[in-house]
Structure 1
Amino acid sequence: MADTLLDELFDWLRIPSISTGGGDPAEIARAAEWAAAKVRAAGGEVELLTVREGGNPLVVGELRASADAENVPTVLIYGHYDVQGAEPLDLWTSPPFEPEIRDGRIYARGAADDKGNFLPLLAAACDLAAEGALPVNVRVAVEGEEEAGGESISQWLKDDPRGADAAIVYDSGMVGPDRPAITVGLRGVYLMTFDVRAAQRDLHSGMYGGTALNALHALHQGLAAVIPGPDGRAREELRVGIVPPSDEERASWAGLPGGDEALAAAGAREAYPGAGAEYVERNGSDTAVDVDQIVAGDTRTVIPAVARATVSIRVAPGQDVDAMGAELERLIREALPAGAEMTIVSRHAAPPAHFPADSPALQIAGAAIERAVGVAPAFTRTGGAIPFVADLSEKGIPTIVTGFVLPDDPFHAPNESFSVRGLELGYKSARELLTGLAGLKP
């Protein structure tokens, strides 16, 4: 398996399927066709769909169960073939689209995110089908827009009448070199950019300072209403609906790397005393509000008429992202001083996702990965968002979010890499997962 899988991965990695600007549409199409050909070679049916005008091809296919296909569960597997751009090229030790192995690691753009991470799952499904040993129906969805918004696959899933009994998403990673993980919760995000106007034009601070309303002062007053307090927590109005971690989740966290180390490795400082000790829970299971940017004023002595800010709220599993976004906006607006006018420039929202660790699909997944790796996975939550996973959650499809990259693997940076061991563990785990999920009730 290992040599064949490596050869296939190298072929796929050589295709510069960049979706983030500057990419060649012909290469995007070639990477999509590569995945489609893999499904066809295993006896599956597959098509390339263009869901929206100007969108990249979506690979949608199916591998039917080897026996009794009408009465066994259906599992949707997901990954993406598009990659980030590779600039600056001079920071790469080897060319980004000429993969090579150094010290047990595969170096190439897309090695970790997501071709190298996902291919073992696709390969396991195809191999089981070719062997006549596939115990579930496998629906394949491989997108080419994950790095650029993922609109096509979200629309496809929304319109899809069939669904699945479970889904597997290989777009996550391990929590350490010897500890796999299943992500059971992802925070959503509400991002808002707005202007606060305090005057018709900038004013001279010598002539008007102290009597004229300052847009920056007004903005700061509004932001003070939502900035976390000394304990780092968002105010209670913004924490409505949070689903706290279960006892099973907490028990699985034993032995996870400490938050103090994670913050130090990122060059970060604690937001409040004891933040490191609460890192694992807070970063995946609680609301967070951050001021991301403020633009206003001048180095001259002026009173700015307008101040612009971008504020984001990371919405915890269980929360309503639109309701929390509206509450964030209300709190800021009502805290502004008289005379200040707030105008929304843009909004963006992505919902959170949550899959209970004690659900049948995730219990099967935990046992399957433990059989493959020899260590029980941690049931973790992550602070970031994967839009398609949120779509699956809203659709009611139990989803196993996992993968075999490591926390310090550089994803979008120069010298992106993925370990050969991760490739092998991913393949072994995928076979166990697909075999184990045959036990689900369809």
Structure 2
Amino acid sequence: MADTLLDELFHWLRIPSISTGGGDPAEIEKAAEWAAAKVRAAGGEAELLTVREGGNPLVIGELRASKDADSAPTVLIYGHYDVQGAEPLDLWTTPPFEPVVRDGRVFARGAADDKGNFLPLLAAACDLATEGALPVNVRVAVEGEEEAGGESISQWLKDDPRGADAAIVYDSGMVSPELPAITVGLRGVHLVTFDVRAADRDLHSGMYGGSALNALHALHQGLAAVIPGPDGRVREELRAGIAPPTDEERASWAELPSGQESLDAAGARPAYPGAADEFIERNGSDTAVDVDQIVAGDARTVIPAVARATVSIRVAPGQDVVAIGAELERLIREALPAGAEMTVVSAHTAPPAHFPADSPVLQIAGRAIERAAGVAPAFTRSGGAIPFVADLSEKGIPTIVTGFVLPDDPFHAPDESFSLRGLELGYKSARELLTGLAELGS
């Protein structure tokens, strides 16, 4: 299996399926067709589906259970074939679309995110079908826009009448080389860019300073209403609806690296006293507001007329991202001084997701990965968002979010890599997961 899987991965990685600008549509379609052909070669059905104008093709397919398919549970597996651009090329040790193995790792763009991570799941489903040992119906959904917004796959799922009894998403990583993980919670996000106008034009600070409203001063006053307090927490209006972690989640966190280790590894400094001690819970289970960018004025003695800011709020599982996003904007707007006007330039929203660790699907998943890895996985929460996982949550499909990227496998960076052990463990775990989920039919 290992040599065949590695050869297949090399073929897929050689296709520069860049979706983030500058990519070749022919290469994007070629990468999609590669995945579809693999499903067909295992006796399944697969098609390339474009659901919106200008969108990249989805790979939508199915492998029927080897017996009793009409009564077998249905499992949806998801990954993405698109990748980030590879610039700056001079920072790569070897060319990004010429995969190589060095020191037990595959180096190439897409090795970790997501071709190398997802292929073991797809390969396990295809191999079980070929062997006549697939106990569940497997629906395959592979998208080509994850790095660029994922609109097509969200639209497909919204319109899909069939659904699934469970889903498996291989698009995350391990806690450490020895400890796999299942992500049971993901924060959502509301990202808003807005202008604050305080005058018709920029003014000279010598002539008008102290009398004319300054857009940067007004902006800072608005932001002060929503940024975290001395204890690192945002105001209670922005924390409404938070679903606290379960006892089972907390118990599994004992195996995780400490918050201080996580901050140190990122080169980060604690935002407030005690931030390291609270890192694990706060990062996935609480609300966070960050000012991401401010653009205004220049180095001359100018009172800026307009200041632009981008602010993101990460909402915890249980929260209504639309309501919390609207509340964030209201608080900023109402805190502006008289005469200042706020105009939203753009906004993007992705809801949070949560799958209880004690649910039947997650319990099956935990046992399956333990059989493959020899150790029970940690049930973790992620501070980031995976929009399709949130879509699955809203659809009511229990979802196993896992993957076998290691903490030091760089995403979106030069010399992106994926370990050969991750490839092997991902494949073993996928076989156990697909076999274990047959229990849903009993």
What TM-score does the superposition give when structure 2 sets the normalisation length? 0.99
Q: Name the SS of the counterpart of 2:70 in structure 1.
A: helix
Q: CA deviation at 1:16?
A: 1.0
Query: Which residue is equivalent to 2:358?
Result: 358
Alignment check: 8 A CA contact 2:255 2:378 kept: no
Q: Name the SS of the counterpart of 1:330 in structure 2.
A: helix
Q: How does 1:43-58 map to 2 (within 5 A)?
A: 43-58=43-58
Which amino acid in structure 2 is aligned with residue 350 of structure 1? Answer: A
Query: Which residue is equivalent to 1:161?
Result: 161
Query: Which residue is equivalent to 2:260?
Result: 260
Which amino acid in structure 2 is aligned with residue 264 of structure 1? Answer: D
Q: How does 1:355-434 map to 2 (within 5 A)?
A: 355-434=355-434
Residues 1:33 and 2:33 aligned together: yes
Q: CA deviation at 1:271?
A: 0.2
2:334 and 2:56 map into 1 onto residues whose CA distance is 43
Q: Name the SS of the counterpart of 2:283 in structure 1.
A: helix
1:68 and 1:27 map into 2 onto residues whose CA distance is 38
Query: Which residue is equivalent to 2:22?
Result: 22
Q: CA deviation at 1:336?
A: 0.9
Query: Which residue is equivalent to 2:96?
Result: 96
Q: Name the SS of the counterpart of 2:343 in structure 1.
A: strand
Query: Which residue is equivalent to 2:220?
Result: 220
Q: CA deviation at 1:164?
A: 0.2
Q: CA deviation at 1:185?
A: 0.6
Structure 1: which 5+ residue stretches go unaligned? none
Alignment check: 8 A CA contact 2:71 2:441 kept: no
Which amino acid in structure 1 is aligned with residue 335 of structure 2? Answer: A
Q: Name the SS of the counterpart of 2:345 in structure 1.
A: strand
1:56 and 1:292 map into 2 onto residues whose CA distance is 29
Q: How does 1:48-127 map to 2 (within 5 A)?
A: 48-127=48-127
Which amino acid in structure 1 is aligned with residue 392 of structure 2? Answer: L
Q: How does 1:194-233 map to 2 (within 5 A)?
A: 194-233=194-233
Which amino acid in structure 2 is aligned with residue 346 of structure 1? Answer: S
Deviations 1:136-159 (A, max 9, x none): 000000111111111111100000
Structure 2: which 5+ residue stretches go unaligned? none
Q: CA deviation at 1:127?
A: 0.5
Deviations 1:5-49 (A, max 9, x none): 111111111111111111111111111111011001110011110
- Aligned-pair identity in percent equals 88
Deviations 1:84-123 (A, max 9, x none): 1111111111111111111111111111111110000000
1:48 and 1:410 map into 2 onto residues whose CA distance is 30
1:10 and 1:94 map into 2 onto residues whose CA distance is 14
Q: CA deviation at 1:441?
A: 4.0
Q: CA deviation at 1:394?
A: 0.6
Residues 1:183 and 2:172 aligned together: no
Query: Which residue is equivalent to 2:338?
Result: 338
Q: How does 1:179-328 map to 2 (within 5 A)?
A: 179-328=179-328
Q: CA deviation at 1:195?
A: 1.1
Which amino acid in structure 2 is aligned with residue 163 of structure 1? Answer: G
Q: CA deviation at 1:214?
A: 1.3
Q: How many residues align?
A: 442
2:438 and 2:118 map into 1 onto residues whose CA distance is 21
1:136 and 1:7 map into 2 onto residues whose CA distance is 27
Q: Name the SS of the counterpart of 1:379 in structure 2.
A: strand
Q: Name the SS of the counterpart of 1:345 in structure 2.
A: strand
What TM-score does the superposition give when structure 1 sets the normalisation length? 0.99
Q: Name the SS of the counterpart of 1:254 in structure 2.
A: helix
1:323 and 1:29 map into 2 onto residues whose CA distance is 38
Alignment check: 8 A CA contact 2:105 2:417 kept: yes
Which amino acid in structure 2 is aligned with residue 180 of structure 1? Answer: P
Q: CA deviation at 1:419?
A: 0.4
1:347 and 1:212 map into 2 onto residues whose CA distance is 30
Q: Name the SS of the counterpart of 1:201 in structure 2.
A: coil
1:110 and 1:427 map into 2 onto residues whose CA distance is 17
Q: CA deviation at 1:298?
A: 2.0
Q: Name the SS of the counterpart of 1:59 in structure 2.
A: strand
Which amino acid in structure 1 is aligned with residue 251 of structure 2? Answer: A
What is the RMSD computed on CA atoms of the aligned residues?
0.9
1:385 and 1:219 map into 2 onto residues whose CA distance is 27
Query: Which residue is equivalent to 2:438?
Result: 438
Which amino acid in structure 2 is aligned with residue 351 of structure 1? Answer: P
Q: How does 1:130-141 map to 2 (within 5 A)?
A: 130-141=130-141
Greater alpha carbon shift after TM alignment, 289-298 vs 244-253:
289-298
1:27 and 1:347 map into 2 onto residues whose CA distance is 31
Deviations 1:315-373 (A, max 9, x none): 11110001001100111111111111111111111111111111100000000000000
Deviations 1:388-415 (A, max 9, x none): 1111011000000000001121111111
2:49 and 2:179 map into 1 onto residues whose CA distance is 37
Q: CA deviation at 1:244?
A: 0.8
Greater alpha carbon shift after TM alignment, 232-241 vs 254-263:
254-263
Greater alpha carbon shift after TM alignment, 118-127 vs 259-268:
259-268
2:440 and 2:202 map into 1 onto residues whose CA distance is 65
Q: CA deviation at 1:433?
A: 0.2
2:161 and 2:339 map into 1 onto residues whose CA distance is 51
Alignment check: 8 A CA contact 2:63 2:126 kept: yes
Deviations 1:248-286 (A, max 9, x none): 000011121111111112111100011111111111110
Query: Which residue is equivalent to 1:170?
Result: 170
Greater alpha carbon shift after TM alignment, 161-170 vs 214-223:
214-223
